[in-house]
Amino acid sequence: MILRVIPLTPHFGAEISGIDVNALSNEVFADVRAVFEESGILLFRDAPMNDDQQVVFSERFGPLETTVSVNPAVGTAFARQSNIDMASGEAMDADDQRIFYQKGNMLWHADSTFKKTPSLCSMLTAREVPPEGGATEFASTRALYDSLDAATKKQLEGCVVEHDFAYSRSLVGFHFNDVQKAENPPARHPLVQTNPVTGKKSLMIGAHAKTIIGWPEDEARTMLDDLLARATEPDRIHVHHWRTGDAIVWDNRATLHRATPFDVTKHRRLMQRTTIANPSALAEYGQYPDISAAN
Ligand code: OGA
Ligand code: MN
């Protein structure tokens, strides 16, 4: 088995081929993991997985998150990005709340940055893809960090960002009820993240990033918006057009992604996401006090 690695862009991402994702030795997985740490996004084509196989492959990276109440796959290891109703197998109506909710994925974000225990990475597998639309776009906040001038890097060092799921969903007009709010309290993480393997720095930003602790509200907003805009300039992003059987693993510490539209009235799209937690992050940078306790 020869692991082949082809860069997706000059700055980030790699397509890995020549291996069977469902039968990886520890040795080959170590190589996959090393490419992940370096490149932030792994693409595997013609790598079909069923749910059980996806869980097994995902657990090689670390412990899995359990999905919270607002996703259709609540209580499982899966977040389902789909316009197909799980029970009936039919396409949902275009005005279904669950479709509306998924519009939040069309904002640039990293997954689970609003959780106290952040995520290492996510794995998304394409089970059914529409013939047009429904691509996923990716950007690198490590490439962004590298492109910043020394003064900005210095200004950002030590900054702590508050990430809030209720805030980011409100941006697309989805307002959490009290139960959803209580299930998703805001969390704080260092803006500048350092990869413990490569030592390379990246920024934890994206739609959930609400403010920078201790900064005036408007200055924090301007900085976060500016960083996001720079990271996602059209010539810096990678657009992935899905084929059934594709799997992508993205580093939630160092990359951003967003969904793009497709015609939900005409086509079916079923993507299964597993989310791998990063409990060691809290050991690396410590845990910030609970927002409720701090305020
Ligand atoms: C996700 C996500 C984008 C997409 O699964 O976390 O943002 O294109 N998906 O489905
Ligand atoms: Mn996502």
Nearest to 111 by CA among 120, 100, 102: 120
Buried b / exposed e across 162-188, counting CB within 10 Å, b at 16+? bbbbbbbbeebebebeeebeeebebbb
Give residue 231's pLDDT. 98
> How many Å lie between the centroid of ligand 2 and the Cα of residue 122?
8
Could you write out the DSSP letters of every residue in the chain? ---EEEESSSSS-EEEESS-TTS--HHHHHHHHHHHHHHSEEEESS----HHHHHHHHHTTSPBPPP-TTSTTTTSSEEEEESB-TTT-SBPPTT-HHHHHHGGGGS-B-TTTTSSS-EEEEEEEEEE--SSS--EEEEEHHHHHHHS-HHHHHHHTT-EEEE-HHHHHHTTT----HHHHHHS--EEEESEEE-TTT--EEE--STTEEEETTS-HHHHHHHHHHHHHHHT-GGG-EEE---TT-EEEEETTTEEEEE----TTT---EEEEEEEE-THHHHHH--PPPHHHH-
Confidence of residue 55 (pLDDT cuts 50, 70, 90): very high
Does 34 have pLDDT greater than 50? yes
Give distance in angstroms: CA of 222 to centre of ligand 2: 23
CA distances from 151 to 157, 189, 230 (A): 10, 21, 16
**Mean pLDDT of all residues in 70-77:** 73
Q: Architecture of domain 4-294 in CATH?
A: 4-Layer Sandwich (3.60)
Percent of the chain residues topping a pLDDT of 70: 95
Position 245: which residue type? G
- For atom 7 of ligand 1, which residue has the closest CA? 105
Mutate to test the pocket of ligand 1, among 112, 168, 271, 275 (most ligand atoms within 8 A of CB): 271
Instruction: For the chain, give the mean pLDDT.
Output: 93
What is the reported pLDDT for 98? 81
Residue 160 confidence (pLDDT) above 90 = yes
pLDDT band, residue 70 (cuts 50/70/90):
low
> Residue 291 has what pLDDT?
47
Which residue CA neighbors atom 8 of ligand 1 most closely?
259
* Predicted local distance difference test score (pLDDT) of residue 43: 98
DSSP 21-66: TTS--HHHHHHHHHHHHHHSEEEESS----HHHHHHHHHTTSPBPP
Q: Are strands 160-163 and 4-7 parallel, antiparallel or unpaired?
A: unpaired
pLDDT of residue 285: 78
Position 123 scores a pLDDT of: 98
Mean pLDDT, range 107-122, rounded to an integer: 97
What phi and psi values does residue 248 have, to the nearest 5 degrees? -125, 135
Ligand 1: which of 58, 82, 105, 169 to mutate, most ligand atoms within 8 Å of CB? 105
State in Å: Cα 133 to ligand 1 middle: 13
Judged against a pLDDT cut of 50, whether residue 67 lies above it is answered with yes
The pLDDT of residue 182: 92
| pLDDT tens profile 213-226 | 999 999 999 999 99
Nearest CA to ligand 1 atom 3: 259
What are the angstrom distances between the C-alpha of 228 and each of 27, 101, 271?
37, 22, 25
pLDDT of the residue at 100: 78
73 CA → ligand 2 middle, Å: 14
pLDDT given for residue 72 in this prediction: 66
Residue 171 has pLDDT above 90, yes or no: yes
Nearest to 206 by CA among 276, 100, 136, 114: 114
Res 292 pLDDT > 70 = no
Q: What is the pTM of this model?
A: 0.94
Q: pLDDT (tens digit, 9 = 90+) per residue, 174-209?
A: 899 999 899 899 999 999 999 999 999 999 999 999
Q: Do 258 and 45 touch, CB atoms closer than 8 A? A: no
pLDDT above 90: residue 73: no
Q: Which of 75-79, 212-216, 291-295 has the highest mean pLDDT?
A: 212-216
Q: Whose CA is nearest to atom 9 of ligand 1?
A: 259
pLDDT band at 294 (very low <50, low <70, confident <90, very high): very low
Does residue 256 register a pLDDT over 80?
A: yes
Residues at CB less than 6 angstroms from ligand 1: 79, 81, 105, 111, 122, 124, 136, 257, 259, 271, 273
